[in-house]
Amino acid sequence: MSMSVASDSGDGEAKAMSDINTTPLVDVMLVLLIIFLITIPVITKTVPVELPKATNIATQTKPENITIAVDASGGVYWNNGKVRDRQALLEFVKAAAVQVPQPEIHIRGDRNARFEAVGRVIYTIQRGGVVKVGFITEPDRGVR
């Protein structure tokens, strides 16, 4: 630390220094920085899990894949044909579940469809016994 009280003039009169001494401020800030660097890892306690790596894989359309669409009003379509009710959808799913190899079901949900309608379709697929279910989405192009 440095401090200068005497003036360079020869008159012997001591003048007050007009510059701000920033050394104590820097010392305090360094101490606070060290404290935060030491305590932050201790504070953030998380359960150690291995998170999955997300990759965007293009869907391979196979002839045996089944597409179920849900429109904005909640209507359900099985391969472009309208399904009259949930019981009919369940029958379609049960018939597809016994095929060897079991086909994948791809769900195309309208952006404005209620989550309840898509959830009912997923529940019906689960009850029908189909194991592989995927969602068809549009790639995010940054435009809303």
One-letter-per-residue 3-state SS of 43-92: HCCCCCCCCCCCCCCCCCCCCCCEEEEECCCCCEEECCEECCCHHHHHHH
Return the closest-CA partner of residue 98 out of 64, 67, 74, 73. 64
Q: Which of 12-16, 37-41, 76-80 has the highest mean pLDDT?
A: 76-80
Q: Determine the pLDDT at residue 45.
A: 62
pLDDT in tens, 60-92: 666 678 999 999 999 999 998 999 999 999 999
Instruction: Round the CA-based radius of gyration of the chain to a whole number and report it.
Output: 34
Using an 8 Å Cβ cutoff, are 79 and 67 in contact? yes
List, in order of start, the domains of the chain with CATH numbers.
Answer: 66-135 (3.30.420.270)
Q: Determine the pLDDT at residue 48.
A: 64
> What is the mean predicted confidence (pLDDT) over 91-117?
92
